[in-house]
Copies of this chain bind each other. A is one copy, B any other.
């Protein structure tokens, strides 16, 4: 490898070498301001999401330090804010809950392994440029999955708001737990939880317009609105401390260890690795899809590009960093990244500065959070995730595409009814199966000539000219194994009873490929039609398709000809038209 080649490769794997070159004081200031705002937003979120994942609150802080530094080195998005996010936290709880009980050391160790496995998978996908695999999650399936996860997450937090125990991995279990224990509701917890929720909703919808109306500068109004959760945390913590609410049954966060994230090595246990591998793959792909879509949206606004395969490397490094520092699976968060972008972040360094902010919080602030009511964190989660819920996708797909509607409905219902892993797996499989089903029954039309033109259109939709001895069939799909027999059947059904037919022309203008199965079907068709005195012709075959057909014996054996255009075919084959034994190839 030449020096230049090495440098290019280094720049691909270390985007920091690229943007670092032009880093200056202005960029530094902008990144630092964005980092302060994101830090304020991230502290309560990281604690809350860790609890959602069934982990101690400090694990959320740990997952918000080194992973951000790793992403700053390897990531390509200039605005993506990495860390614990709601959906991945819920998926972590579902995955780890299968192999250990919450509150045990095994549970925490399994979360570390999950982050490590997920990081490895992302890294491998990135190095082998397998980012395209994520494309097999259709948009409606992801949208349905995120919405259903949002509902599940909100339901899972209701127990904290009420101050009762209510766990479960699907809506039925969650609601059942709430109904069964609702009698033990703690009124003070409920007051704090409901109050915080109402306050946060008001901050979200009403505060910023009010501040703007009062003449506050837009940027400051924005920062104050984003600080809402911090205010809720501060006020309820003070209340809990001042009024001694912990003694009156209000669950508080309690002792959060003060200090640097621990250095952890994921333990190697083949059984645990095997049983977490499927979940790690799902978490990786879902996290990647969410992260890359927000990164792309933000990059496009500044006419920048991200490299999805390098994003895999960046997120992989983040998750491995998380595993090595006592964290759990992380990815790019939607709301957080938008805040980062709007606050003026210019480079991934903003993420590294955020990491410093969280590190300071872990070192200094944790004693202050001792009396923080868990209900307050539940309120921040509920308000955050309800913005993810958008069931309009069900209505939109119903109007636009029934296949998508079935896939999205199944995803939502199965996620709510059977949990996140079943839901998203079934959604992905179903959307692939429906796609295959559609392509296996392609649109096939018999066409005729539109009078006075050279255009051929569907005989069922248009008044067209046809000849009783010629049947022209247009196939609106590539020919491959799943639809080869369908076409054969369609043509046999058409010709069997009609003894006037002498020619069948396949119009191939929408055929982008003919695979081996379809080629063999065409050979069989040619042979069988020939046996009953019908010649098979092709028209408007595309260049690349023709190139491959010419490598076979098919064109030699074809009883008819290959025409450049359908009009030419019609003219040549009509009784009295130009005929000739030598087939014309194009």
Q: Per-position contact with B for A290-309: 1 when CB-CB < 8 Å, else 0? A: 00000011001101110010
Return chain B residues, CB-CB under 8 Å to A139: 481, 484, 516-517, 520-521
Return chain B residues, CB-CB under 8 Å to A437: 132
A404 to B548, CA, bound (A): 13
A481 CB contact (under 8 Å) in B138, B442, B552: B138
Whether B140 and A517, one on each chain, are in contact in the complex, defined by CB atoms closer than 8 angstroms, is yes
Whether A517 and B484, one on each chain, are in contact in the complex, defined by CB atoms closer than 8 angstroms, is no
A131 to B437, CA, bound (A): 12
Whether B440 and A135, one on each chain, are in contact in the complex, defined by CB atoms closer than 8 angstroms, is yes
Is A441 among interface residues, defined by CB-CB distance under 8 A? Answer: yes
Closest partner residue, chain B, to A475 (CB atom): B512
Whether A512 and B515, one on each chain, are in contact in the complex, defined by CB atoms closer than 8 angstroms, is no
Whether A492 and B138, one on each chain, are in contact in the complex, defined by CB atoms closer than 8 angstroms, is no
Within the complex, the shortest CB–CB distance from A76 to chain B, in Å, comes to: 13
Pick from A253-261, A334-342, A372-380, A392-400 the stretch touching chain B.
A392-400
A321-357 CB contacts (< 8 Å) to partner B: none
Is A386 among interface residues, defined by CB-CB distance under 8 A? Answer: no
Within the complex, the shortest CB–CB distance from A431 to chain B, in Å, comes to: 6
Within the complex, the shortest CB–CB distance from A136 to chain B, in Å, comes to: 5
Interface size class of A (residues with CB under 8 A): 35 or more
Whether A548 and B135, one on each chain, are in contact in the complex, defined by CB atoms closer than 8 angstroms, is no
Is A205 among interface residues, defined by CB-CB distance under 8 A? Answer: no
A65-119 CB contacts (< 8 Å) to partner B: none
Known contacts A477-B512, A532-B303: A399-B492 contact under CB 8 Å: no
Is A531 among interface residues, defined by CB-CB distance under 8 A? Answer: yes
Whether B528 and A481, one on each chain, are in contact in the complex, defined by CB atoms closer than 8 angstroms, is no
Return chain B residues, CB-CB under 8 Å to A308: 489
A136 CB contact (under 8 Å) in B297, B481, B493, B532: B481
Whether B515 and A138, one on each chain, are in contact in the complex, defined by CB atoms closer than 8 angstroms, is yes
Q: How many copies does the complex hold?
A: 2
Return chain B residues, CB-CB under 8 Å to A461: 543
Whether A496 and B135, one on each chain, are in contact in the complex, defined by CB atoms closer than 8 angstroms, is no
Return chain B residues, CB-CB under 8 Å to A400: 516, 519, 548, 551-552
Is A173 among interface residues, defined by CB-CB distance under 8 A? Answer: no
Is A482 among interface residues, defined by CB-CB distance under 8 A? Answer: yes
Return chain B residues, CB-CB under 8 Å to A138: 480-482, 515-517
Closest partner residue, chain B, to A142 (CB atom): B517
Return chain B residues, CB-CB under 8 Å to A509: 509-510
Whether B132 and A515, one on each chain, are in contact in the complex, defined by CB atoms closer than 8 angstroms, is no
Whether A300 and B516, one on each chain, are in contact in the complex, defined by CB atoms closer than 8 angstroms, is no
Return chain B residues, CB-CB under 8 Å to A502: none
A443 CB contact (under 8 Å) in B132, B304, B512, B548: B512
A397 to B551, CA, bound (A): 11
A206 to B300, CA, bound (A): 74
A401 CB contact (under 8 Å) in B135, B301, B304, B515: B515
Is A432 among interface residues, defined by CB-CB distance under 8 A? Answer: yes
Whether A440 and B132, one on each chain, are in contact in the complex, defined by CB atoms closer than 8 angstroms, is yes
Whether A486 and B440, one on each chain, are in contact in the complex, defined by CB atoms closer than 8 angstroms, is no
Is A524 among interface residues, defined by CB-CB distance under 8 A? Answer: yes
Closest partner residue, chain B, to A438 (CB atom): B513
Is A263 among interface residues, defined by CB-CB distance under 8 A? Answer: no
Known contacts A512-B442, A516-B397, A548-B401: A531-B300 contact under CB 8 Å: yes
Return chain B residues, CB-CB under 8 Å to A486: 132, 135
Q: Per-position contact with B for A473-497: 1 when CB-CB < 8 Å, else 0? A: 0001110111111101100110010
Known contacts A396-B516, A443-B544: A481-B300 contact under CB 8 Å: no
Within the complex, the shortest CB–CB distance from A433 to chain B, in Å, comes to: 10
Whether B440 and A516, one on each chain, are in contact in the complex, defined by CB atoms closer than 8 angstroms, is no
Closest partner residue, chain B, to A434 (CB atom): B515
Whether B441 and A496, one on each chain, are in contact in the complex, defined by CB atoms closer than 8 angstroms, is no
Is A435 among interface residues, defined by CB-CB distance under 8 A? Answer: yes
Whether B135 and A492, one on each chain, are in contact in the complex, defined by CB atoms closer than 8 angstroms, is no
Q: Which of A134, A516, A551 has the most CB of B within 10 A?
A: A516
Is A569 among interface residues, defined by CB-CB distance under 8 A? Answer: no
Is A542 among interface residues, defined by CB-CB distance under 8 A? Answer: yes
A503-540 CB contacts (< 8 Å) to partner B: 509-510, 512-513, 515-517, 519-521, 524, 528, 531-532
A–B Cβ pairs within 8 angstroms, 27 of them: A132-B440, A135-B483, A135-B485, A136-B436, A136-B482, A138-B480, A138-B482, A138-B516, A138-B517, A139-B520, A297-B528, A300-B492, A300-B532, A301-B528, A303-B496, A305-B493, A305-B496, A308-B489, A400-B516, A404-B517, A435-B482, A438-B513, A439-B478, A443-B512, A476-B512, A477-B512, A509-B510
13 extra interchain contacts, Cβ-Cβ under 8 A, other than A400-B548, A435-B515? A132-B440, A134-B485, A135-B482, A138-B481, A138-B516, A139-B516, A139-B521, A140-B517, A305-B493, A308-B489, A396-B552, A401-B515, A461-B543
* A binding-site residues for B, Cβ under 8 Å: 132, 134-141, 296-297, 300-301, 303-305, 308, 396-397, 399-401, 403-404, 431-432, 435-443, 461, 476-478, 480-486, 488-489, 492-493, 496, 509-510, 512-513, 515-517, 519-521, 524, 528, 531-532, 542-544, 548, 551-552
